[in-house]
Amino acid sequence: MYILIYIMGTIFGSFLTLAVYRIPLKKDITHERSFCPKCNHRLEFLDLIPVFSYIFLKGKCRYCGEKIRIRYLILEILSGLIFLILYISMKFNYPFFEIDKMVYFVMLIIFYITIALIAGIDKEYRTINRGVIIFGTIIQVFYILYLCIVNNTIMYRYSIYLGLLILCLLFDKLLKTKENKSNYLLELIIFCLYINLFVDSILFIFIILTSSVILLWTKVIQKLKQNVNLKSIDFKKENLNKIGFGFYIGISTIIVLIIQNFTYYWRG
């Protein structure tokens, strides 16, 4: 089971790199096969196996010899690990079949996927992708409805966040059609409201705190690097400055999510 979950994670990691590249360009993410960005050769099944294909091909394109960025391999391994950690954090009791936990786990994975996508796209393009938010929100509405039916309680807190989220999305749409530009702050508010649909408000404060700490930490590292080696930072500086806050919020959400699960399920 662990191996299966890990493999699922690496497959998602491989999908993530492709989706982050294709979604903002409005390209198809499910039907069109991947291809090498250098020689445009379509990748065969063997080239698409996460982690292993990278090792077997020694990090190079099979057709033109172009180096594949190590970042892809790291992302695949990391994503596999996060799937595995999330699975372990649920503390499933074999051989019992716990339907509530299973449904929650699926939701957790979907939430993680949307957060990772939003963070990745924000890092590359400095924009919060509305399509991913809307997709995740619709899934979450179904989940809240499911919880209402099963537990027979109405989740008022979620309804408030959901209402605000829809309002902000409409406002954002209006801004875009009227002035043909989007407001990054509004995008961040939308992202924060979206996160609040899934995590506790107290944990959300932690998310804001952690992302600020990570941001500060990166800035300090950046500064230190500037002092040590001015030449290496020069071409990287622009890139680093372009990283949006949404990326940091995404990263800390994933961290907080893991901690939340462990404290909830492992303390008993």
What is the binding site for Zn ion (CB under 5 A)?
A: 36, 38-39, 61, 63-64, 66
In the complex, least distance from residue 76 CB atom to Zn ion, rounded to whole angstroms = 19
Q: Are 199 and 107 in contact (CB under 8 A)?
A: no
In the complex, least distance from residue 83 CB atom to Zn ion, rounded to whole angstroms = 29
In the complex, least distance from residue 64 CB atom to Zn ion, rounded to whole angstroms = 3
Nearer to Zn ion, 41 or 225 (CB): 41
Q: Are 251 and 214 in contact (CB under 8 A)?
A: yes
In the complex, least distance from residue 23 CB atom to Zn ion, rounded to whole angstroms = 22
In the complex, least distance from residue 19 CB atom to Zn ion, rounded to whole angstroms = 20
Nearer to Zn ion, 22 or 101 (CB): 22
Nearer to Zn ion, 39 or 230 (CB): 39
Nearer to Zn ion, 39 or 160 (CB): 39
Beta-bridge partners for 35: 42
Nearer to Zn ion, 20 or 61 (CB): 61
Residue for token pair 């408000």:
201
Q: Give the list of residues 6+ apart from residue 244 with CB closer than 8 angstroms, or none.
A: 122, 123, 126, 127, 184
In the complex, least distance from residue 57 CB atom to Zn ion, rounded to whole angstroms = 10
Nearer to Zn ion, 36 or 215 (CB): 36
In the complex, least distance from residue 158 CB atom to Zn ion, rounded to whole angstroms = 47
DSSP per residue, the chain: -HHHHHHHHHHHHHHHHHHHHHGGGT--SSSSPPB-TTT-PBPPGGGGSTTHHHHHTTTB-TTT-PBPPHHHHHHHHHHHHHHHHHHHHT---TT---HHHHHHHHHHHHHHHHHHHHHHHHHHHSS--HHHHHHHHHHHHHHHHHHHHHH----HHHHHHHHHHHHHHHHHHHHHHHHS---HHHHHHHHHHHHHTTS-HHHHHHHHHHHHHHHHHHHHHHHHHHHH-HHHHHHHHHHHHH--HHHHHHHHHHHHHHHHHHHHHH--
Nearer to Zn ion, 8 or 43 (CB): 43
